[in-house]
Chain A
Amino acid sequence: MILILVHVIIAVLIVWFIFIFNALVRHKIRVSDAWSQIDVQLKRRHDLIPNLVEAVKGYMAYEKDTLERVIKARTQAVDASGLKDKAQAENFLTQTLRSLFAVAERYPELKANQNVLKLQEELISTENKIAFARQYYNDEVRLYNTKIQVVPSNIVAGVCGFQKRDFFEIENIAEKEAPKVQF
């Protein structure tokens, strides 16, 4: 009788273990999906910047420094690897872009060129996408981190070696009272 009971308990425990393990794996996959979304958008941002610089170059001959800083920051951001480094490089790029937009306000001719305007719209859209992708990623990371820390799933997480993931913190270009970026 007791033997049967022990068997039943062990079976229930195993099923429960598998159940929780699968849930954790699903969460983990969602987190990495969310991360790949950020990666796609960051890459798009890096692809757009040279085009934008090329388009405004003709108008902003006196702003060589600003433009060069943007290009340099972009190269750094492309080369960066690892979550922390990436966040730092992207933040630096955001700052240089912000100063570029601030300077651009002084050149009304820029707004007369549909090509430049289109590139700016694309860049703004990409910035928004980065912000949204980051928001989604951080939401998923929060769910996942909570899951591996609360009882009882923390036991399974501990046994199977699920690691906590870091949040991705970067600045949004529209945040803070810097120059107005409305096109």
Chain B
Amino acid sequence: MSFSFIDIEESKNRIIFVVFIFIVLFYFLTTYLILVILENSLVPSSVLSRRGFFFPPASHALIVLIAAFFIALLHWVISTNRLIEKMAQAAGARPIDENDIYHQYFKNIVDEVSVAIGGRKIEAMVIPSAGTNAFALQDFNRRSVIGVTEGLLARLNRPQIEAVVAHEAAHIVCGDSLLATVITSLSELYEEALFKMKAALRGSRGRGSALFFLLYIVLLGMNTLSKMLHFFLSRQREYRADAVGTRLTRNPLSLAEALRLISEHWRGSGAEGARLESIFIVNPRHSWLDEREGLLSIMFSTHPPIKKRINLLLNMAHMDDKTLEANLKNFKRVSPVALAQFKVSEDEEPKKWFVFQESKWQGPFLFDEIMQLEGLRPDHWVRPEGLSRVIPAYEDKELKNIFLKSDGEITEPVCPHCKTGLSEFSYEGVHIFKCSFCSGIFLDHDKISRILIRKDMEFCKEVKKLGETIIKGKKKFILKNKAAKSAWVMDCPRCKQKMHRQFFVYSYPVEIERCLFCSGVWFDKQELEILQYLFENQEQLFAKL
């Protein structure tokens, strides 16, 4: 292939010009139609019957054309101003959280791909949704954004995410994103106008309403037409983006795997902006048209059939469907989260240590208690309980983590129960605050969904048991708790206002304390794990209802 990514850039402007002409045409036609109707209705009916249908002169048409041009310009300016912010907001995407391990590694991947396309900056965004999908945005100032859902981050492995990001980057370099972003934000305006007119139509009667109705029909027709054109373009572009993306990563197999995994999972319909289908990698609205080929789907579906896309990619990799199946069967994600944090609470007796301080042996202490000990240095002598061996603290496999760890520093939020500072922790890659004594957890409300989606941790027996109990007696459990407490309880660790005790939601009846001022949430010991357990076993939970 001899084309360079910079060459493609130049062809974009032409497409944008065509889109603009299209809008001018649209406004011309609608305004002209109104003019025709108006001028005909103003002429007395006696004259009309003599002269027949009345056409406005060419000079009127010219005035209308000029007016249409300016209206179109206004329309353009309004809908392309702050394009990325508006679209990202509509899709529910947010900038990445620098402290989140998953987000860090997603940002690394985006940076890698931006090197592959010649060092052009791409911003990374994340949609806090359990769906599996990805999107790309671009505006006129060459600002570009690639976003994925939390579900995608939690389910795909590194090469697969890289393949998806490369696909989206291909959309950006080929100019598809710019076109899609502009058209989608323009049609947003159409849809809004249509919606308002529909409401107005219901209220009005008589001659005016007939005119209104006609206008409505025209708008509807234009909207459908422009959409169909765009759908057609967008479908062709998916194939090309697959090809160019593969050219970037030189790894068609991973993209095929990613597409298969994405198509198997919930794509996040409803959660993301309902009218933004064409900026996503697969259509977020599951539709019966998706996997069909035929006239109807050629006219109305935004994405080509995934099966066909996968087959094309497999052809590139010289593989067949069976190999893909086998690959996915053996598929195992490598978690970016450190293994040590997998073991939250052990079932066995927790390990304890004696510490030699102030010239005598003290203890035994639990690990968390040692972390709180003042003045413990790496060269202090310690003795694990039940052993006679005395070693310096830095030689103990577990204790040396205290000194190695850069996080774990005591910070401002204070445990509402123990009144001590909370330590910073990383749980499922999410940055949280944890009390070292009572194991309570404090975090922002929007981080909960991330934790629920990720499955790096394993549950201990206790949590499983508690979870099962809740699932079994759910109704009783809710009734009992509902009557007992729904009250303002302890102080928020951050803003010191009273927190409200409530269920997380009624479908997952775990009690949490929620601050209504700073949206912080407090989980007592193991409550977060139980919530995760309920979420992962939700089918079972709903079957009991």
Determine the chain A residues whose CB is within 8 A of the CB of B113 once the complex forms: 132
- Segment from A29-37, A67-75, A79-87, A88-96 that makes contact with B: A29-37
- Segment from B42-50, B208-216, B303-311, B397-405 that makes contact with A: B397-405
**A129 touching B115 by the CB < 8 A rule?**
yes
Q: Is A121 an interface residue (CB 8 A)?
A: yes
Q: Is A41 an interface residue (CB 8 A)?
A: yes
**A122 touching B108 by the CB < 8 A rule?**
yes
Within A97-143, the residues touching B (CB, 8 Å) are 108-109, 111-115, 117-118, 121-122, 125, 128-129, 132-133, 135-136, 139-140, 143
Determine the chain A residues whose CB is within 8 A of the CB of B406 once the complex forms: 115
Closest partner residue, chain B, to A174 (CB atom): B159
**A114 touching B109 by the CB < 8 A rule?**
no
Q: Is B316 an interface residue (CB 8 A)?
A: no
Determine the chain A residues whose CB is within 8 A of the CB of B405 once the complex forms: 114-115
Q: Is B111 an interface residue (CB 8 A)?
A: yes
**A113 touching B401 by the CB < 8 A rule?**
yes
Determine the chain B residues whose CB is within 8 A of the CB of A117 once the complex forms: 336-338
What does the 1/0 interface line of B424-461 toward A look like (CB < 8 Å)?
A: 00100000000000000000000000000000000000
B467 to chain A, nearest CB (A): 26
Complex-state Cα separation, A136 to B248, whole angstroms: 9
Q: Is B18 an interface residue (CB 8 A)?
A: no
**B340 touching A41 by the CB < 8 A rule?**
no
**A113 touching B404 by the CB < 8 A rule?**
yes
Query: B-side interface residues toward A, CB under 8 Å?
Result: 2, 4, 6, 101, 104-105, 108-109, 111-113, 115-119, 158, 162, 248, 250, 334, 336-341, 397, 400-401, 404-407, 426
Q: List 6 A-B contacts (CB under 8 A).
A: A37-B119, A114-B341, A135-B116, A139-B4, A140-B4, A183-B334
Complex-state Cα separation, A136 to B250, whole angstroms: 12
Known: A33-B118, A114-B340, A183-B336. 11 other contacts (CB 8 A): A30-B6, A34-B118, A111-B339, A117-B336, A118-B101, A125-B112, A129-B112, A129-B115, A132-B115, A133-B119, A139-B4
**A111 touching B115 by the CB < 8 A rule?**
no
Determine the chain B residues whose CB is within 8 A of the CB of A108 once the complex forms: 339
Determine the chain B residues whose CB is within 8 A of the CB of A115 once the complex forms: 404-406
Complex-state Cα separation, A117 to B426, whole angstroms: 13
Instruction: Identify which of B105, B117, B397, B426 contacts A109 (C-beta below 8 A).
Output: B397
**A133 touching B115 by the CB < 8 A rule?**
yes
**B340 touching A121 by the CB < 8 A rule?**
no
Complex-state Cα separation, A108 to B334, whole angstroms: 14
**B4 touching A121 by the CB < 8 A rule?**
no
Closest partner residue, chain B, to A130 (CB atom): B115
**B338 touching A41 by the CB < 8 A rule?**
no
**B341 touching A136 by the CB < 8 A rule?**
no
Assess A113 versus B334: contact at CB under 8 Å? Given A125-B112, A129-B115: no
Complex-state Cα separation, A111 to B104, whole angstroms: 17
**A121 touching B105 by the CB < 8 A rule?**
yes
Interface size class for chain A? 20 to 34
Q: Is A161 an interface residue (CB 8 A)?
A: no
Determine the chain A residues whose CB is within 8 A of the CB of B334 once the complex forms: 182-183
Complex-state Cα separation, A136 to B340, whole angstroms: 39
Determine the chain A residues whose CB is within 8 A of the CB of B404 once the complex forms: 58, 113, 115
**A112 touching B340 by the CB < 8 A rule?**
yes
Assess A41 versus B115: contact at CB under 8 Å? Given A111-B339, A143-B2: yes
Determine the chain B residues whose CB is within 8 A of the CB of A129 once the complex forms: 111-112, 115
Determine the chain B residues whose CB is within 8 A of the CB of A135 once the complex forms: 116, 250
Most buried by A among B105, B117, B338: B338
Within A4-52, the residues touching B (CB, 8 Å) are 30, 33-34, 37, 41
Complex-state Cα separation, A143 to B6, whole angstroms: 12
Q: Which 4 A-B pairs have the closest CB atoms?
A: A112-B340, A132-B116, A125-B108, A114-B338
A34 to chain B, nearest CB (A): 7
What does the 1/0 interface line of A149-169 toward B look like (CB < 8 Å)?
A: 000000000000000000000
Closest partner residue, chain A, to B406 (CB atom): A115
A173 to chain B, nearest CB (A): 13
Complex-state Cα separation, A162 to B339, whole angstroms: 55
A29 to chain B, nearest CB (A): 11
Determine the chain B residues whose CB is within 8 A of the CB of A114 once the complex forms: 101, 337-338, 340-341, 405, 407, 426
**B338 touching A112 by the CB < 8 A rule?**
yes
Determine the chain B residues whose CB is within 8 A of the CB of A125 once the complex forms: 105, 108-109, 111-112
Determine the chain B residues whose CB is within 8 A of the CB of A37 once the complex forms: 115, 118-119
Instruction: Identify which of A33, A121, A143, A146 contacts B119 (C-beta below 8 A).
Output: A33
Determine the chain B residues whose CB is within 8 A of the CB of A182 once the complex forms: 158, 334
B339 to chain A, nearest CB (A): 5
Determine the chain B residues whose CB is within 8 A of the CB of A183 once the complex forms: 334, 336
**B118 touching A136 by the CB < 8 A rule?**
yes
A90 to chain B, nearest CB (A): 16
Complex-state Cα separation, A106 to B55, whole angstroms: 87
B323 to chain A, nearest CB (A): 18
Closest partner residue, chain B, to A137 (CB atom): B118
Complex-state Cα separation, A125 to B337, whole angstroms: 16
Complex-state Cα separation, A125 to B109, whole angstroms: 7
**B105 touching A111 by the CB < 8 A rule?**
no
Closest partner residue, chain B, to A121 (CB atom): B105
Complex-state Cα separation, A129 to B107, whole angstroms: 13
**B338 touching A111 by the CB < 8 A rule?**
yes
Closest partner residue, chain A, to B1 (CB atom): A139
Closest partner residue, chain B, to A116 (CB atom): B338
Closest partner residue, chain A, to B336 (CB atom): A121
Determine the chain B residues whose CB is within 8 A of the CB of A128 once the complex forms: 112, 162
